[in-house]
Structure formats: structure tokens, C-alpha cells
Structure 1
Amino acid sequence: MASAQIPRSSPRVHEGKLAIVTGSARSIGAAIIRNLASKGCNVVVNHVTPSSDQAALDLCKEVETAHGIKAISVRADVSKTEGCTKMIDAAKAAFANPTLQVDILVHNAAILYMGPLESVVESEFHHIYAVNVLGPTLLTAACKPYLPTDRSGRIVMISSINCKVGTPNTSLYSGTKGALEALARVWCRELSERATVNTINPGPVMTDMYMNVADEVKQGLALWNPLTPLVAVRETDSPEVQELGRKFGGRAAYDHEIAGMVATICSPESGWCTGSLISANGGLSFSL
């Protein structure tokens, strides 16, 4: 679709750029895709399972139609070198003009294992660290040759409030998210001439991951609600958010609110911010 067919009131800050967002067929990842596309960014929608094929294709069609950008979906497991190669090859085939440039890279894909310390098993440890830590490492390395050379690139890591506050029963998940935060501080130095590297740490978000955990887990996170400034439920909130808000003493975030934080970090105006952990949790934890 020709971009001229889409009426616009002002220039879009990411016009013609390319973003790769892992785990982006649904939830927060899909919200990030929608936000970046609305700002003119071409996008790679990544997912790992055949069950997400249709959701990824539907999302691509949606943002192409709404925003006049180009979107492709790539089913690839970025925790494996061959998966990263598949991502880069697909991006080259679709966006090399004449060469590929990856302007924005968002590490959103993650899996979750919950349980007390004594429930940790070796196979789950290796699986979650492969997906949540090794995957971002391999994909960033694969993208490095294609990052801008003028510091205009943006890399964003999606961490979690869990490793900040020490939420019980999250040994594996919190460990992986803490590792991401450490990687961002290393990469912001290694990639300083190519891209900024920052992290955000959402609290509870109205996603499948949050909705599917047991109420006892939600209640553990809700213990922080009295200290979190922005969780008060309003009449304008969705019925589902209001119901959970009344039950747990405060609301979870909408996925578009997290996507908005990512978009802020990716803006040209954020070029003097790197290596930082930025609050995206309603004030449960402050950015320092």
C-alpha cells in the first residue's frame, strides 16, 4: 500500500526505519509493533510457535493497512543461532535497499516459570535462560553489523519489576530479567557508536501471562499496590481492569502504556540516554 494513501497531520519520527520486535504476535510485543508502525516504522513481527502464525499475519496486515508501512512476520527461535540467521535473512529479503539497516531492536520475548526455590528443576533453568537471556544475546550479535553507525540505533530490553523487588517464587524469571539489565549496561558501552541500549521494568500488565497466573501470584504482586501511585482504578478503565482492580486493590497496566514507554526510549530525542533502567510500572519502583 502506498504510504501517500494514509492521511497524516505531521511527520512521523520513524519514517522509513526498521524495527525488529521479538515475541510480538500478541500482548506487549504487538502493542509495541502498533506504536512504532504508527510512527512510520517498518516492522518485523517475530514469534516462535505455529499457533501464533495467524496472529502474526493478522497484525502485519493491520499495521500495513492502518499506517502504510511494510511489515513481515518471521517464525524463528532466536535462542538458537539458526533462528537469528533466519530473522536477518528475512529482513534482508524484505528491507535491504540496497543494504539492511536495523534501527530499532526490542527484546520482548520471554517465558515464565513460577514456584518456590525448591521446585526449580535443571531443564527449566536451562530453557528459561536460553529464551530470556541467550536469545537477546545471540540476536543482538546477529544484528550488530546492521545497526546504524551514527548512534541513532535503539535497543530496548524488557525486564520486570520482579527482579527489582524480589517477588517470591520467581527465582528463574527474576534471574533472567536481572541478567538482561546487566547486559544492557555492558552493551551500551560496546555499541556506543551504533545504538543506545536501555531497559524498562514493567509491573503487572493485562496480558495473557498475567491473566493466566494463579490469584495467589496476583495477590503477591498486589501487596505493592498501596505504595504504587498510579494504580487507582478509574471509571474510564475497562470492565476487566476495574474488576481485577477492585479484587486486588489496584489495576495492572495496559499493554499500550508499556509500548508507549518503549516508543519514548526509541525516539530521536532520547539519544542522550543509555545504559539506564527506566521505570514502567506506575511508580512501584522509581527510575534512579
Structure 2
Amino acid sequence: MAVKVALVTGASAGIGEATALELQRLGYVVYAGARRVDRMAGLRDKGIRTLALDVTDEESARQAVATIEAEQGRIDVLVNNAGYGSYGAVEDVTLSEGQRQFDVNVFGAIRLIQLVTPVMRRQRSGRIINVSSVGGEIHTPFGAWYHGSKFALEGMSNVLRIDLAPFGIDVVVVQPGSTKSEWSGIAAEHLRETSGRGPYARAATNHAKAMTTGPLHDNASDPSVIAKTIGASVTARRPRTRYVTGYYARPVLTLRRVLPERGFDRIISRSMG
């Protein structure tokens, strides 16, 4: 039986790094991709293959997939994990920054899907895991660009799931809740820089503080929790279409589904300062 091969993007830290290790533990030949290869030295020391991969660069993505195909002759799993959160009032965020948010979170994932799909089609098998967020179904203050990108990724995943099923390719969405990583600190700092002055200053400052202190931050799940869920989605004989995982994920999605929209708006605004 052929050894199975996985590519994990955004693998230099957090969920991506933990997922690379989890898939290796499950017996996969793992390729870890990130812009900063030096930050993946620990993975390389553990026998994981590392690749320079900028998901926003067509040639970088093409070269990464070509390298794996040349070395292994197959690609069984793609974990689209690369992403970040661009927070700020819509009128304060430049369109170029909004476009970058979509280029990383949406077009970067789709670019890799386009590249691995022909390989998986020839194999008549494959699994694409799109790491979204509970933010793909809910909304929080100042997160219009971020949530918009995750809503888009989830919508495209729904269609891809239908289109690729006849070729034996599964498309799965993973929706993490609050997770210990650099993500919240980077998003909070971007919010302060973007809307920390002017008419939104007070609300933006309070929201940035809530992202980096308090229960949501203090009780955040370790990235290994999300990685184990991704591992389960990869190895399941018949995977679910969505996996909800991590701190606060199920409760907040339940609130979103049962409350009227304005009621949810009030609760989420208060909880985020």
C-alpha cells in the first residue's frame, strides 16, 4: 500500500505546525509549507519536509506542488491552513489591505486546490481540508474583511464538495474556535493601527483588548486540539462536511443559530468589549 502524502500550508507556527506533526504521527509523508522556512527548522529536524511557500504567489505555489509530485508521485491530502485576520472599521481599511486579506484566506487556498485537483483526479482519491473558523458562520465587531473571507471560503468549499465528489475527492471544512496562537495578537495590533484613532477609537481599543485578554484568550485551546480534529477528518472513512473544534466554538455557533440576528449582535458586541 502506497504511503500517503500530505501538504500543510501556514505550517511555521500554531495550527499548521501542530497539524504537520499530527499527520506525521498518523503515518503520512508530510510537506510543511510557509513563507519563512527558517521558522520550520523544528519540523525539519523531526523528519518533516519543509517548503518555501507563499500562497499568494502563483509560481511559489506551483513549484511547491510540482516538487511534491516529482518526489512522491501523488498528493493525498491538502490542508489549507494559511491565513490571518485583518481587523478594522471598513471605512478605515484600505482596499489594497482588503484584497490582501482575500488573497491569503481565499485565493491562496483556491490556488492550491486548482493545483492539486488534477493530481487527485488521476488518483481517483484525495482529501482537501479547508481550515476556516467559527468566523465563517458568525460575525464580530471590526472583522468585516476577515469574516467576509471565511464566509467566502466556506461557500466555495460547499460547491467544491459537490463538484469533486465524483472523482473520489472529499472537501472538508474545519471550524476552530478560540485557539492559542499568534493570530489574536496580530489581529488586535492591526485593529489598533487601523481604527485606534478617530470615531471608532474607543470601541476598537476595547475590542482589541478583548482579543488578547479575558476568558476567550485565557481559555483558548492548544493548537494540538485543532490538529487532532484535522487528523480525524483526514483519516475518517467517510468524513463529515464540517468539524467544529476548540474552545467556545460550539456554544457560539449554537447562539448564532437560535438567536435573532439583532440579539446575537448585542451579545457578541458586549462579549467583545
What's the offset of the Cα at 1:213?
4.6
SS of the aligned residue for 2:137 comes to helix
SS of the aligned residue for 2:91 comes to helix
Counterpart CA distance in 1 for 2:137 and 2:246 is: 11
Counterpart CA distance in 1 for 2:179 and 2:84 is: 15
For 1:115-130, what aligned pairs fall within 5 Å after superposition? 115-130=88-103
Which residue in 1 is equivalent to 2:17?
30
Q: CA deviation digits over 1:178-212, x for unaligned, max 9?
A: 11101111111121123110111112110011244
Is the contact between residue 28 and residue 258 of structure 1 (CA under 8 Å) also seen in structure 2? yes
Q: Give the TM-score of the pair, scaled to structure 1.
A: 0.74
For 1:30-109, what aligned pairs fall within 5 Å after superposition? 30-48=17-35, 52-62=36-46, 64=47, 71-95=48-72, 100-109=73-82
What's the offset of the Cα at 1:56?
1.5
Is the contact between residue 15 and residue 40 of structure 1 (CA under 8 Å) also seen in structure 2? no
For 1:1-288, what aligned pairs fall within 5 Å after superposition? 16-48=3-35, 52-62=36-46, 64=47, 71-95=48-72, 100-147=73-120, 152-192=125-165, 193-214=167-188, 216-217=206-207, 220=210, 247-248=214-215, 251-271=219-239, 273=240, 276-282=241-247, 283-284=250-251, 285=253
Counterpart CA distance in 1 for 2:211 and 2:183 is: 14
Q: Give the TM-score of the pair, scaled to structure 2.
A: 0.78
Counterpart CA distance in 2 for 1:151 and 1:258 is: 28
Counterpart CA distance in 1 for 2:118 and 2:238 is: 22
Q: Identity rate of aligned residues, in percent? A: 24
Gaps of 5+ in 2: 189-204, 258-273
Letter in 2 for 1:26: A
- Output the aligned Cα RMSD: 2.5
Letter in 2 for 1:85: R
Which residue in 2 is equivalent to 1:6?
none
Gaps of 5+ in 1: 1-13, 65-70, 223-243
The answer to which structure has the higher helix fraction is 2
SS of the aligned residue for 1:205 comes to coil
Which residue in 1 is equivalent to 2:264?
none
SS of the aligned residue for 1:147 comes to helix
Is the contact between residue 149 and residue 194 of structure 1 (CA under 8 Å) also seen in structure 2? no
Letter in 2 for 1:196: D
Quick one: structure 1 residues 163 and 108, their matched pair in 2 at CA, closer, same or farther if it must change by over 3 Å?
same
Counterpart CA distance in 2 for 1:135 and 1:38 is: 27
Letter in 1 for 2:21: R
Counterpart CA distance in 2 for 1:113 and 1:147 is: 32
SS of the aligned residue for 1:117 comes to coil
Counterpart CA distance in 1 for 2:38 and 2:160 is: 34
Letter in 1 for 2:215: F
Is the contact between residue 102 and residue 148 of structure 1 (CA under 8 Å) also seen in structure 2? no
Counterpart CA distance in 2 for 1:269 and 1:59 is: 28
What's the offset of the Cα at 1:217?
3.6
Aligned residues between the structures: 235
Is the contact between residue 154 and residue 266 of structure 1 (CA under 8 Å) also seen in structure 2? yes
SS of the aligned residue for 1:191 comes to helix
